[in-house]
Structure 1
């Protein structure tokens, strides 16, 4: 079948749809905002100088024609050839005496069109054409001539190409001529007048943009959209492309590419949302779309993840009390898109790993004011660990509504059912490094866990004017489930005198959590003289509740070196039943101040009222209630000596009044506090490649660590300190060649304590760690779309327990690799993790958890 016949068949089946419209196309069809004219001829400077002041004006395309109004498709190859679509194979920009000449290289004649004006942009929509550039999906050129801020070419639905020429202050004019091999626009910049200057607009690109490996903005550090180079914070964004290229299927794998961050193994060996950041644990607490998320007993799927933002440094100033002493990890979930897109993916891998996902999005009505997105994932897998398996399903629908008058509402739900084998790993003894990594002390018929997680949320936003808007959001999380497990019976003397036998106990639990939080934020932009302000004022109300009933039973010991499985536990009796939680009110204020174009101040603080409660469910009595007030300030300064260099400093505080648990002997804990000083430099090597170097000193007081006598409880030490250096490089070196590289030196230790020796290193923290992930994709020729990936991870040796007892997790060097092929709407990939079958270990509380050996995953994705 010829190419024309194939395209005809696919079009008749409805399988050929347009790619999502990106960049300036997204702005022109979804959001055009009014601002004062920028004085700079550089587009990025103009956007910063105007500071993103916006109106609510939205310009949309007309509704699509009805079916009976459409021209009937060709039914023969001859008719199709007569109606063939012209390909735009290249875009050239040439200087002219009176402006600019834009040449579209084509495979045939294009029809002449009449341009239209949208604000300060001249738009030419060319019918019966498709953009088919050899090395990109679209074309953009910033500041190509005086008076011209941006030239772009993008694909539109129904075989159309849009050329947009945006004037710096006013729209340009253009004359069009065509011939057999080119479509030429002779562009003359417009001349500003007093009237037109007042009406000039700035086009702001919104929606889903692809910035590759090096996104330029993030919201986690400030809760507002701001360029990363303008923030005195160390933030790294892991975008969807990296998640796809690395074939991340477990959330904690994301730690591999972020300096100073190590993964934490969750409840019973699951992939948790917890990390070690700059030496300190986040205690399985993270954030999801800006709300606190607790993924300790239930994991989080990556199927509906748009990107993950890692803030390294205290986050209490915006997120309140919690375990964000050393950083915050915020997951930004996928939102609906205005252009239809449907993607299905299947993954098959080692150890009977099977996973399938779908991602559907598009409009629900003709004028695209109501959009939807649906993410679904199903996974079923065994493991390299004996008697270990998991099964998971995620369903995550989202609907958004845009009034076209500055009011927007998004409502969503996430449901996940996760079944897995509760396996905490190996006991903390040297012998664990001598047995096979598949060895376990659990029983094959008594190691089940299942949790159902439901998240409901909405996000409402209204723009009062060009400079002021209000946002209100609600997040509700409910988790229900329980476990059956076999664990160690003696945490003091693990092995019996014979050196082989492990005493064990068995447990059964019923557990639940219910968390609800509401945030209301006022965001405004204004000037005091020549100083520009980006103000954020917010109020958060939150309630967190956790409850569990534990039942215990005796079970026979096991020979650790020659286990005999199949032993049943004895009779279960109640052990301890508890409920704990907190009610919180937080008020926060932040101002991002442009003192001069190259001197930026970030100042803010948060005041919290917290009431914590601990209740014994056996006796239905409240054993502890505490009320705390806390203030967390932050100050930061950025100086930019050049357009590509940012020098920064920050000082920040953190606190955690919500110490839900109690000590093994029943005492309440004091609030925890932290303080950090940090200096750094951010350098844009090119437009697509940047680097960050940070030096910090971070201290924590009243720290909770695992009780060495009972891993189910914690102890509170005096002070711990972490200080170190972090370096990362992210972005595109050359077209098609992407990289993320990082190095961290972390000196994390006990600095003051009554029982733990001063100088003891903190658990699980390597002194040195480094990583590299790089991919190259061939950009042209017969092998276009073929790509290769290489990953290297080095982790220094780490202490396994605190106080340190001489048990050390060995250092390791792991290699990952991939080969992939992208063509049209298809992507094929093979990812090899731990290529050389390196043996390595992590820690989970009191236990040692082996890392996965050589693992191969094959995937196929289709977009239609």
Structure 2
């Protein structure tokens, strides 16, 4: 019903926009040619990009946008040898790793906020929501570049965390034939083959296809994974001013659940980093993600454009996994594990439509955007729990695994959830001289229904929110700008309190100010920002009955960030960042007030540098490296232990022969530093990768 309502509203938007254009007389449109590179595949300037479509959906240059926006470009992805999204996190300030559900999906925080423990923070793909349900880690075969939108984006994208939002821009078809095959091999039996091909099918239709097959071993015992990715895309130029794009990705990942290592009597180094605390006979958890997106773009004239799209995702997560109970404090050389069987699935359909127009208001230039959005997501969760099903002995020396119980065990969860959402939004940007004034407003309405088949209980709740954002940018000169902005965020809280009432949604409020620099030749840029964010209505335990929650918690994050990236000289590329984050739980019923958020280092910094030189005609080489410092951070919610700080070093080198053949060698953690990357508690510690090598050959034809 809501999808139908949104489509009806979109029709009104389209006809309203057309009527606006035809109010006085019929307008003869000038010839408008839709270029082969759409707004979703902006050209890269090495490590720096001047535009971000998803920041405002208004094509506003980053230097003029009242928000910190950092982009990991295609060149950065290639240089660091990224195969998954997790590989890029060190190269953006304020982004930190969180509990990734045993390595089966992406989960990280921005500016201290990480959203739901099991689903993570909000994420977008080409502007569509992409993190509802159960998603395998994103593969680089999908990615053209990654946009990190710092601060709340609720006025444009609705349900989100106040720390920021990530938008993945996928690879798009080109009308110039380009084909490549890449073979990669690395330490611990890592093998990957990928194909990237694009070409015109006809004068008006072009395709792109990326295919990946990957088999990956691990320094961790019994942990091997397989991944298969197919990413088709089509662009159809219906006319000089209208185009349709289709983007899809089909991912299958097979991997055992791996919660990492455990501490013994609080000692984080009590056992070796390769010890597997699980059941080697559980087999793989299989994730399947099938995504389809269709977008229609139409230019009415040089000033007015409409965009509409539909996205559909079908995800599943199924398999056995044995794990230690996360609150367990291990004191001996043996641990008992529970075995859980999970059968999760999700079904997500969403619709978007907006119109953007530019017109003059006196001597000022005005850009207006308004639109509608609707979605429906269904989630099915089936979970069986078999307590004390396996014992692992001798975990400090030579682990042995003893099966104590078999079978599914007890039905723990059998639940169906359905969420419907609709939204209206409007944004306006006014350019007056050297000032840019920005204002956005969004109204969100979310209805949720949960059916617990185990207890035969059905619950419903309705939430709505009005989400404003304002910002001012002053262009000091051609290279420098200064900005300030404030915005809100919103995320529904599911469940009921002890009186059977639904919870108020989480609400975030952010204040930010910053200074931006962009070189005159636009080859590199930098951003310095400071922010303060408060999130309230965080769920915490009810003091009268701790089996229930109350929405009374509050969390605060303050920080400073600095990022610089781009091509500093003809031969030298740089990506560097620094982040200071101070988080605090300011209200809580469980004695956590004054505690810091887990896995958030106060200080972190990364430097990536690359030197490139031509050897002879059409051949070149590159040498570079990276150094990352991650400060100490709290290992659990109670702040009872810290994960030590660490520094890791990487090396990069490539040789390109006649532009068609490239050999690349990457070395990760050159000094073989041992460290804990993230944790959930003493019993779930994720050790970082030891020294490893990756050699690839990329042939273009």
TM-score, normalising length: structure 1: 0.73
* 2:690 aligned with 1:853: yes
User: In 2 relative to 1, CA 714–280 (structure 1 residues): closer, same or farther, beyond 3 Å?
Assistant: farther
Partner of residue 264 from structure 1, selected from 98, 106, 109: 98
Alpha-carbon distance between aligned partners in 2 of 1:619 and 1:59, rounded to the nearest angstrom: 56
Distance 1:334 1:699 in 2: 36
Runs of at least 5 residues in structure 2 that lack an aligned partner in the other structure: 1-28
- Aligned pairs for 1:514-529 (under 5 A) are 514-529=347-362
- TM-aligned CA deviation for residue 60 of structure 1: 9.9
- 2:6 corresponds in structure 1 to none
Q: In the superposition, relative to structure 1, how do residues 432 and 577 fare at CA in structure 2: closer, same or farther (>3 Å)?
A: farther
Matched, 1:463 2:299: yes
Contact 1:207 1:337 (8 Å CA) reproduced: no
Does the C-alpha gap of structure 1 residues 531 and 205 become closer, same or farther in structure 2, counting only changes over 3 Å?
same
1:675 to 509, 532, 550: 509
| Alpha-carbon spacing, 1:790–1:714, altered in 2? closer, same or farther (3 Å) | farther
Q: What's the counterpart of residue 9 of structure 2?
A: none
Spell out, residue by residue over 1:563-584, the C-alpha distance to the aligned partner (whole angstroms, 9 max, x if none).
2125264232312212224110
1:820 to 632, 651, 654: 654
Counterpart Cα distance in 2 of 1:267 and 1:799: 18
Equivalent positions of 1:222-301 (< 5 A) are 222-272=56-106, 274-283=107-116, 284=120, 285-294=122-131, 296-301=134-139
Q: Secondary structure at the match of 1:777?
A: strand
Q: Is the contact made by 1:818 and 1:831 (CA closer than 8 Å) also made in structure 2?
A: yes
CA distance in 2, matches of 1:543, 1:55: 39
1:706 and 1:845 in contact (8 A); partners too: no
Aligned to 2:140, the other structure's residue is in SS state coil
Which of the residues 622, 630, 634 maps onto 2:469? 634
Alpha-carbon displacement from aligned partner over 1:170-226 (angstroms, at most 9, x marks no partner): xxxxxxxxxxxxxxxxxxxxxxxxxxxxxxxxx999965231111100012112222
Q: Give the secondary-structure state (helix, strand or coil) at the position aligned to 1:628.
A: strand
Which residue of 146, 155, 171 corresponds with 1:308? 146
Distance in 1, Cα, partners of 2:135 & 2:552: 26
| 2:186 corresponding residue in structure 1 | 349
Question: What displacement does 1:56 show?
Answer: 4.7
Matches within 5 A, 1:97-176: none
Aligned to 2:163: 326
Q: 1:58 aligns with which of 23, 26, 33?
A: 33
Q: Deviations over 1:627-663 (max 9, x none)?
A: 1110110000000121111000001111112x34678
> For 1:542, which of 372, 375, 380 is the aligned residue?
375
Structure 1: how far apart are the matches of 2:262 and 2:370?
Answer: 49
Matched, 1:834 2:672: no
In structure 2, distance between residues paired with 1:584 and 1:593: 30
1:157 counterpart residue number: none
* Cα separation, 2, equivalents of 1:269 and 1:632: 34
Counterpart-to-counterpart distance in 1, 2:227 and 2:261: 25
Counterparts of 1:665 and 1:348, CA distance in 2? 58
Query: Equivalent residues in 2 for 1:598-609 (5 A)?
Result: 598-609=434-445
1:591-644 deviation digits (Å, cap 9, x = unpaired): 121022x1001111100111022220334431x211111011000000012111
Moved more, 627-636 or 444-453: 444-453
Conserved? CA contact 1:796–1:810, under 8 Å: yes
Counterpart check, 1:221 vs 2:55 = yes
Deviation at 1:265, TM superposition (A): 4.1
- Separation in 1, partners of 2:650, 2:540: 33
Q: 1:406-454 CA deviation, whole Å, 9 max, x = no partner?
A: 1100123211111001112223652342211111211111142001110
**Whole-Å separation in 2 of the counterparts to 1:616 and 1:544:** 17
* CA spacing shift, 1:205–1:660, aligned 2, 3 Å: closer
| CA deviation profile, 1:748-770 (whole Å, cap 9, x unmatched) | 11112222343211110000000
From 437, 445, 448, the counterpart of 2:284: 448
Please give the alpha-carbon distance, in whole angstroms, between the structure 2 residues aligned to 1:681 and 1:434: 46
Separation of aligned partners in 1, 2:310 and 2:490: 24
Aligned position for 1:564: 400
Candidates 202, 206, 209, aligned match of 1:374: 209
State the distance in 2 between where 1:794 and 1:279 align. 17
CA distance in 1, matches of 2:498, 2:698: 50
Deviation string for 1:460-500 (max 9, x for gaps)?
011111211111111111112312011124x554326xx33
- 1:762 is the counterpart of 2:575: no
Distance of 2:159 and 2:447 partners within structure 1:
12
Q: Deviations over 1:519-569 (max 9, x none)?
A: 001111111111111111110001122221111224133233242125264
The answer for the alignment partner of 1:388 in structure 2 is 223
Check the 8 A contact 1:580/1:660 in 2, yes or no: no
Q: Which residue of 2 aligns with 1:793?
A: 628
SS class of match (1:785): strand
Report what 1:552 is aligned to: 385
Structure 1 contact 355–379 (Cα < 8 Å) conserved: yes
Task: Please report the RMSD computed on the Cα atoms of aligned residues, expressed in angstroms.
Answer: 2.6
Q: CA deviation at 1:694?
A: 0.1
Instruction: Quote the offset at 1:822 in angstroms.
Output: 1.6
Q: 1:672 to 1:59 in 2, by over 3 A?
A: closer
Separation (CA, whole Å) in 1 of partners of 2:411 and 2:182: 45
| 1:648 match: secondary structure | strand
Query: For 2:54, what is the secondary structure of its paired residue?
Result: coil
Q: Does 1:803 align with 2:638?
A: yes
Once the two structures are TM-superposed, the CA of residue 740 in structure 1 deviates from its matched residue by 0.4
Q: 1:577 to 1:706 in 2, by over 3 A?
A: farther
2:41/2:144 contact within 8 Å kept: no
Q: Is the 8 A contact 2:296 2:308 kept in 1?
A: yes
> How many positions carry a matched residue from both structures?
655
Q: 2 CA distance for matches of 1:665 and 1:841?
A: 42
Measured against aligned partners, the alpha-carbon deviations of 1:288-335 in whole angstroms (never above 9, x if no partner) come to: 11011127542221112100000110111111123x221000000011
CA contact (8 A) 1:253 1:263 kept: no
1:827 CA displacement: 1.1
Equivalent-residue separation in structure 1 for 2:313 and 2:268 (angstroms): 38
Which has the bigger relative contact order, CA under 8 A and spacing at least 6?
A: 2
Match 2:323 to one of 465, 487, 510: 487
Question: What is the alpha-carbon distance in structure 2 between the residues aligned to residue 591 and residue 808 of structure 1?
Answer: 45
Corresponding position of 2:450: 614
Q: Does the Cα contact within 8 Å between 1:422 and 1:448 map onto a contact in 2? A: yes
Q: Secondary structure at the match of 1:678?
A: strand
Q: Where do 5+ consecutive residues of structure 1 fail to align?
A: 1-53, 62-202
Secondary structure class of the residue paired with 2:312 = strand
Q: Provide the residue aligned with 2:252 in structure 1.
A: 417
